[in-house]
Amino acid sequence: MFAGKRLSKELLKMKEHLPPGISIAKSENLEEWQMDIRVLDENPLYQNQVFRLKFTFGSKYPIEPPEVQFIELPSTSETPRSIPIHPHIYSNGIICLDLLSSAGWSPVQTVESVCMSIQSMLTANTRDERPPGDSEFVSYNRRRPRDINFFYDDDNV
């Protein structure tokens, strides 16, 4: 009941103004949006690259967090997108960020603020690596991101 009204208000506001490096790629319905984000500084890991985030909103948004993950678009498509390399981002696009878990989420967060958090998470990263156990996780995980219990043990990145 909430979600639609709140999302249409957010969309209206975002169409008016968005912070640099963040743009709306798809927002046809109020259940799934796609956003493009780009790192603003000269970080060599992500220079000249744009990444696609997929937001899936439940009916209880913003009380409950949206599901957010990176998605890959093939290099043959018009807008090729890859999964950024980061010690907290699995190669299937799942992001390990406490903000996106039910415990770390707060209803005052918006799509814009989540994008900015992920943007700064990429900006601050200097390690050219995937999380430990990435290949195992990617091949065995069938759960949805919100059901995974991550250990948010690393506050540095």
Partner 1 sequence: MNIDDFLAMDPGCDRDEIVDLRSLDYVSNYDDHLMCAICHCPYIRPVRLQCDHVFCQKCLNTAITTFDTDRDEFKCPTCRTPTRGVYLTVPRFLINMCDDIRVKCPFEVQGCKEIVPRGHIQSHVDKYCGHRLMDCPDVFCRKKTRKKDLSAENKCMHELHRCLRCDAEIMEQDYQHAKELCPGLKTTCPDCEATVFRKALREHIDACPEAIHCCAASKYGCPIKVKRVELAVHEQTCPLITIGPYFEAQNSRLDSLELTIRHLQQRNEIFEDGLANIRSNLVESSCVISGRNPDRPAESGSQGSPSNSSQTVNEQFDSANNFSSNATTYLLALHESLREEVGQLSHAITDLDSRASMAIMNECLRLKEDMAHTNAAVGSIRMQVQWLMNPRIHQSQRTGVRTNGGNNGNETRAGQLGSSVAGPSHAAGPSPGFFQPRRLSDSGREGTKL
Binding site for partner 1 (CB under 8 A): 2, 5-6, 9-10, 13, 60, 62-64, 102-103, 106-108
- Distances in Å between the alpha carbon of 44 and those of 5, 48, 49, 73, 124? 40, 9, 10, 21, 11
Query: Which DSSP category does 147 fall into?
Result: G
Closer to partner 1 by CB, 10 or 52: give it.
Answer: 10
Closer to partner 1 by CB, 104 or 133: give it.
Answer: 104
Residue for token digits 């415990």? 103
Residue 93 region, left (φ>0) first, then alpha (ψ -120 to 50), else beta? left
At its nearest, how many Å lie between partner 1 and the CB of residue 90? 25
- Angle between helical axes of 111-124 and 2-16 (0-180°, round to 10): 60
At its nearest, how many Å lie between partner 1 and the CB of residue 60? 7
At its nearest, how many Å lie between partner 1 and the CB of residue 3? 10
- Catalytic machinery residues: 96
